Each structure stands twice: as structure tokens, then as C-alpha cells.
Amino acid sequence: MKWPANITLCEVGPRDGLQNEAAHLSTEEKIKWIDSLTDSGFSFIEVSSFVSPKWIPALADAEEVLKGIRRQPGVVYSALVPNERGLERALRAKVDAVAVFMSASESHNKSNINKTIEETFPVLRPVIDGAKQENLPVRGYVSTVFGCPYEGEVDPNQVVKVATKLLEDGVDEISLGDTIGVSTPTKTARVLEAVLKEIPLEKIALHMHDTRGTALANIMVGLEYGIARYDSALGGLGGCPYAPGAAGNVATDDLVYLFKDSNVETGVNRDKMNASLELLEQLVKHTLPSHTSSYLRSRGWKE
Ligand code: HMG
Ligand code: MG
């Protein structure tokens, strides 16, 4: 198998995972968990979100979380930013990277950020410019790439159009989101064929939710295409509150296991990651959905 030799795992659990939890963790609990992720060796952690607290109450403490975490040199602590107001907050909290986000489908974009696709670009442009002035990298999430909860099928050409415009506006990387976990290996390949005709491979990350258990299979397709950056959430937490039916992200712990006997380097220490997984389950106070957590739980959290 010709997989990339180095894979970056973007741990989005503190943002994508916790935004969807009914019972909110306290700021101290979030900080303790994020510190354990740092100890596990992740090089990119999406720590929180500077969106409207009215829209995502679970992450209203983004500033406090950013200020409270222990920062390991070399680790990128990133956050979602929807507008200039969010950028001001994120810069004050000293994020290392900014993530803007929008959808390839009109109706999800409208339900998630209350704007049409055309109205969104002029809102994101000053966010991108402002982050660049501070020399911060910017990733651009494109949601509903593989299907929309309201519209169903999404044209890959529309995905290419939105992603290309974000790149023209200055984002460094596009994360292609299977927001509701509908993709299959065949569809993933079809979308990647269209995207990679127009956008360089090194600018693409995959963000696969795992509603039907196909996320790892879709990531295998991404690996065959040479994609080296994958978003995942520890324990398989996650979901978009404005995308009905969206289950958790691909579980980081299952994804790390996928690379176990390969030559792929993820930088993650599995023992420390397993300790972070156990801590997370204690904090969220419910059973985590990942396969690996189920296995570890049955063995007292030891491999
Ligand atoms: P809006 O209601 O259209 O805009 O929201 P607004 O400007 O009228 O703002 C509403 C209120 O929020 C106002 O307060 C603003 O001041 C305040 P009020 O005057 O009513 O007291 N506000 C803010 N407060 C703090 N920080 C801010 C901010 N902005 C406004 N940055 C808005 C528009 C974009 C703000 C809203 O729709 C929003 O926050 N949406 C975020 C939704 C969200 O976070 N969804 C989940 C993340 S995306 C996702 O999960 C997908 C992803 O994982 C990839 C994938 O899976 O595909 C990334
Ligand atoms: Mg997501």
C-alpha cells in the first residue's frame, strides 16, 4: 500500500465533539482533557470555537479554555472562527491557527451560519486577511461535501467551486467534510477525483463523520490518493447541531489503530491516548461510541 509516510491527525474532539454534548463540560474539565491530548502527542488540536454562544452554548468558554491550556511548543492549538467578531476573540486568546467554515450546499449553510453561500465569502474574507496579518495559518472547512441533510446529493463541481474560492481568498488548506457521514468508498473516490483535478493534494484534509461505520473505509480511499491530513475526534464524539442525523467523527483511537502495523508515523503515543480516552469517558459521563474504547473498557482501559 502506498500510504503517505507521515500523517497529521487533527484532533477535533474538543470542538466538534464537545459542541454536540448535551451536558456541558466545565472549563476546568475541558482544559484537563486537552492537556491530556497534548501529552498524547497530537500536533494539531482544535480546541474550541469562537462562534456565537447563542448558537453553540457548549463552547461559550472558548477564551478561558485557550488561556487555561498548557501549550506544548510545536503543537498547533486551533479554533473555529465564523466572523470578525470571532477573530477578535480568537486573537485575544492567542490561537495558533484559525479555521473558517461553510457548506457546499445552500440549505446547510443557511441553517448553520444563517447566510447564503454568496453572502458567506465576504464575511470570511476579512477573517482570513486578519489571521494572515498575524501570520496565522487558516484552514477552510467545506461541509456537506458528500451529502446534505436537507438537499441529499451534492454536486462535486459545487464542492470544487466553494473550495477554490476559499483558496483564492487565502485559506491554506481545505478540509472536506462528510458532515452527516453518508459517504462510501465509491463516492469518496468520485469526489476526490473531481477535487484533485483542481486542487493540489497537499492542500486537502478529510473530515469524515461515521454515521454508518464507513468513515475508516473512506479514509482508506483518501490514503490511497495520498492525502496526509485527517480530522478525527477521540472516542468518536462529534456532530453538527445544525445537521440532523450527524453522528460522531471518525474515532481518533480507531484511526490510530489502523496505522499500527504500517510504516505511517502519527506521532501519537497509544498508552497516553488510551489514558486520555478513559478520562474523556469519565468527563462526558456516557459510553463513548468508538470500537477501541469499547474494547479498552472491557479490559479495564489497558491494551
Ligand atoms: P446570526 O444570528 O445570523 O448573526 O449568527 P448575528 O450577527 O445577528 O449574531 C447573533 C448574536 O450572536 C448577536 O448577539 C451577536 O453579537 C452574537 P445579540 O446581539 O443577539 O446579543 N455573535 C457573536 N458572539 C460571540 N462571538 C461571535 C459572534 N458572532 C455573533 N463570533 C453566526 C451568525 C455565524 C454568528 C451564527 O450562525 C453562528 O455562530 N453559527 C455557528 C454554528 C456552528 O458553530 N456550527 C457548528 C460548527 S460547523 C461544523 O460542525 C461542521 C464541521 O465540523 C465540518 C463538517 O463536519 O462538515 C466544521
Ligand atoms: Mg464535523
Domains defined for the chain, CATH in brackets:
8-298 (3.20.20.70)
**What is the number of the ligand 1 atom nearest to the C-alpha of 83?**
31
Residue length, the chain?
Answer: 303
Ligand 1 pocket, residues with Cβ under 6 angstroms? 16, 19, 49-56, 80, 82-83, 85-86, 89, 101, 112-114, 141, 143, 177, 179, 207, 209, 240, 242
Three-point CA angle 146, 147, 148, nearest 5°: 140
**Spatial CA neighbour of 171 closest among 131, 209, 202, 134:** 131
Q: What is the DSSP string of 31-69?
A: HHHHHHHHHHT-SEEEEEE-S-TTT-GGGTTHHHHHHHS
Is 240 catalytic? The answer is yes
d(CA 187, CA 209): 14
Among the listed residues 223, 240, 256, 279, the single catalytic one is: 240
Q: What is the DSSP string of 105-161?
A: SHHHHHHHHSS-HHHHHHHHHHHHHHHHHTT--EEEEEESSS-BTTTB---HHHHHH
**What is the number of the ligand 1 atom nearest to the C-alpha of 85?**
31
pLDDT by position in tens, the chain (length 303): 789 989 999 999 999 999 999 999 999 999 999 999 999 999 999 999 999 999 999 999 999 999 999 999 999 999 999 999 999 999 999 999 999 999 999 999 999 999 999 999 999 999 999 999 999 999 999 999 999 999 999 999 999 999 999 999 999 999 999 999 999 999 999 999 999 999 999 999 999 999 999 999 999 999 999 999 999 999 999 988 898 888 999 999 999 999 999 989 899 999 999 999 999 999 999 999 999 999 999 999 988
